[in-house]
Amino acid sequence: MAIKRIFSGIQPTGDLHLGNYYGAVQNWVGLQNGDSETIYCVVDYHAITGGIEPEQLPQRSLQLAGDLIACGIDPERSILFVQSHVPEHTELAWVFNAFAAYGDLSRMTQFKDKSGRTKHVNSGLFTYPVLQAADILLYLADGVPVGEDQAQHLELTRGIARRFNQIAGVEFFPETQILLTEGKRIMSLADPTRKMGKSYGEKHYVGIMEPPKRVAKKIKSAVTDAGGESRDALSPGVANLLGLLRLAGKDVEADDFEAQALSGDLMYGYLKVAVADATVELLEPIQARRAALSDDDIRAILADGAARARDIAGSVMAEVRSLIGVGAGRI
Ligand code: TRP
């Protein structure tokens, strides 16, 4: 069945990096050319489960929205907005708390992961996937582009929708499909056995908005050989660099380097220069578009996005209230 409406979200937790770009944003941009409506959201209410930072959060949301636009999210073709600007998200999340099973939530691997690493385990971390289900179903979205790590949250979303429909006695929410972003797992430069992320530190990721010199420097210091591995298989670091080169559109060069690596005569330095050049080339137009965007431009786009999102969210939420028997004007 054709997907009618696509929704995805990203947390404003720091600079957008190459892992986010290749793993999500590039795919979001591509989906704008299809037949489905696309809605993209900066999920600030999710971000507060990782800590309350009232000084930084608004700036982070604004920055991220600007970065997304620079990467190609087009406000003419997509709705781009900030989650907290549409209060129905949290309202529906509360409703869904009455539909989500405690047992299911306690099996979420992301929760087990995060709660294991956190001192104060707030219940927002636990109900995080319920808010995510609300994000999606508030727009009756039937397609959600995410990576494999979100598959469990999507399964939970479908479960909530099913249970809601059953209890309400109507097929109100759609069966949302996961549009899996395949195989684009970018690893950390300094530890290529871990996924690229900001939480490990500066050396581990390449920020989309970093100056070309810094980008090149980081790539040139990437770990290529942890030592000890055999020569007839690619080391994780080399495999990651080859992946980055291919993603930057340099397949032919990558094939060449790969053959050299497998025959044991790859000069790591040449590979790194190629990856650095290709990455800088990719980032240049994005950074130029970003530089041309003022904060007020971004604010205007987000205000328009929120208004369009609220149109949909308002009517869906009105139906939900009526289906469960709450809301002003009903008593
Ligand atoms: N949980 C997602 C992540 O960590 C972010 C997210 C929040 C999301 N709400 C969403 C993704 C709705 C897709 C749809 O990456």
Q: Of 112, 119, 184, 198, which residue is the catalytic one? A: 198
- Residue 183 is predicted with a pLDDT of 60
Measured by CA distance, the residue closest to atom 13 of ligand 1 is 8
Ligand 1 centroid distance, CA of 132 (Å): 6
Query: For the chain, what is the radius of gyration of the CA atoms?
Result: 21
What domains sit in the chain, N to C, each tagged with a CATH number?
5-185+294-324 (3.40.50.620), 198-290 (1.10.240.10)
Task: Report whether pLDDT(229) > 60.
Answer: no
Active-site residue 114, yes or no?
yes
Pocket test for ligand 1, best of 28, 41, 127, 157 (most atoms within 8 A of CB): 41
DSSP state of 49: G
The one-letter amino acid code at 46 reads: H
Pocket test for ligand 1, best of 11, 113, 127 (most atoms within 8 A of CB): 11
Mean pLDDT over all residues of the chain?
95
Q: Which residues does residue 144 pair with via DSSP β-bridges, in sequence order? A: 178
CA distance readout (Å), 179 to 5, 24, 142, 152: 12, 11, 10, 13
Mean pLDDT of 162-169: 98
DSSP state of 327: S
The answer, yes or no, to whether any atom of ligand 1 lies below 6 A from the CB of 89, is no
Longest dimension (CA), the chain: 78
Distance CA 313, CA 307 (A): 10
- Token pair belonging to 40: 């993209």
Structure confidence at residue 296 as a pLDDT band (50, 70, 90): very high
Between 106-120, 268-282, 285-299, the lowest mean confidence (pLDDT) is in 106-120
- Token pair belonging to 138: 């508030």
The one-letter amino acid code at 83 reads: Q
Q: Which residues does residue 5 pair with via DSSP β-bridges, in sequence order? A: 37
pLDDT one-digit tens code per residue, 47-75: 999 999 999 999 999 999 999 999 999 99
Active-site residue 198, yes or no?
yes
Task: Report whether pLDDT(210) > 80.
Answer: yes
